[in-house]
Amino acid sequence: MIRFSICKHISCYGVKMCMLGGLSVLLQACGGGEGQDPDPLVEDYGIAFVRHPLAIDANNQLLQPELRELITFNPGGDLFYRDLASPSAPQRNVSGRFTGGEGDVRDVEVSYDGKLLLFAMRAPEIPGLGPAEQPTWNIWEYDIEADTLRRIITSDITAEAGQDLAPHYLPDGRIIFSSSRQRLSRAILLDEGKPQFSGVDEDRREHAMVLHVMNPDGSDIRQVSFNQSHDMDPTVLSSGEVVFSRWDNMGSRDAISLYRMNPDGTGLSLLYGAHSHDTGSNGSTVQFMQPRELPDGRLLSLVLPYTGTYGGGELISLDINNYIDNTQATADNLGVLSGPAQAALLINDVRTDTGISPGGRFRSVTRSGFCSPGLTG
């Protein structure tokens, strides 16, 4: 039996943006590899990555993440940046000045001009306080050239009013993100003379995370989606619509599919995958996460089960222009196209069941690249 000793998890994010809504795959440095001079004919890419210890239990065993549990905290996570995507390039710890190496970072996104990084960060645990009194996840921004870090919501009271994750820039400069704030839902309760509260998901694990929009300075926070469970991973299509992963969890229904809407929350509709969850390796059940638009109009999605693969999955493309499910064409293509709408993006043998995955598994997708966490089973 082969055992692997894994001490770090790294999620990587390329910083060069090729086109609005597009995605350029960053698998290796475009120049300046170790022991080599940069190629003067090739433009170099910066790279940002999150590095933190893998979560282990009391028996020193690797913990299995649960996809439906969003408010996790793994102390020791930090955001790093290199001006060149090369192993020999100097790196700087972007978030360490705030976390002191005891906080956590996740959900890194890149601005359209490649000059800013947007991400979620949590301060270290405060000894002696209960879970409800600990710091919340907040949205932060890093200016690469100026080497400056700022929290988007400056007010401590406002920032700590909810758990804020998965930020993404809108084309007009505002920020869409997933949050437990449920500001409009709470306001409706107040108008009806009822106590204000943030509803928990149908499984009663956590407060439901839904989509909100705010200005670049953290003002004018508005709730734009409503769901009894989580709405996650928003991003923008070239049409200007927002696509995101929605956890549909009611009665016998328990699956994460892709939805789309306008940035103000209007025009909500199912986009893909309601009947395509049995398309994993050996017919295993998978969920559709972290959608990103490809230059040809297809979507890239990370597909993985709720648990059992250490949070890793496979990268696939989805033909959303012609299909609503893997073998279900749109109305215009009925009787013409029969599928499949899904296709693997890599030649490696990446598995989404709980067995060994010869080609490894992937955990992170961003508009400019993706990175494997190095887990193989």
Q: What is the CATH number of the domain that holds 33?
A: 2.120.10.30
User: What is the chain's pLDDT, residue by residue, as a tens digit (377 residues)?
Assistant: 233 333 345 566 555 433 223 333 333 333 444 445 555 545 678 899 999 888 887 888 888 899 999 999 999 999 999 998 888 889 999 999 999 999 999 999 999 999 999 999 999 999 999 988 999 999 999 999 999 999 999 999 999 999 999 999 999 999 999 999 985 544 444 444 544 444 554 555 778 999 999 999 999 999 999 998 999 999 999 999 999 999 999 888 999 999 999 999 999 999 999 999 999 999 999 999 999 999 999 999 999 999 999 999 999 999 999 999 999 999 999 999 999 999 999 999 999 999 999 999 998 876 544 444 444 33
Query: CA-to-CA distance for 192 and 203, rounded, in angstroms?
Result: 26
332 CB-near residues (< 8 Å, 6+ apart):
none
Asked if the structure places residue 1 within a domain, the reply is: no
Q: How far apart are CA 321 and CA 9, in angstroms?
A: 35
Residue 3 lies in a domain: no
C-alpha dihedral (97, 99, 105, 110), degrees to nearest 10: -20
Does residue 377 lie in a domain region?
no
Tokens of 178: 């997933």
Domain of 171, in residue numbers: 8-371
CA 157 to chain CA centroid, nearest Å: 26
Q: What is the per-residue pLDDT for 34?
A: 44
64's tokens: 């299995």
- Residue 376 counted as domain residue: no
Name the domain count of the chain: 1
CA distance 70 to 206: 8
* pLDDT attached to residue 86: 82
203 inside domain: yes
Residue 2: inside a domain: no
Q: Is residue 95 in some structural domain?
A: yes
Q: What is the pLDDT of residue 192?
A: 43
Query: What pLDDT, in 10s, does the model give residues 181-236?
Result: 985 544 444 444 544 444 554 555 778 999 999 999 999 999 999 998 999 999 99
Write phi, then psi, for 374 (nearest 5 degrees): 85, 15
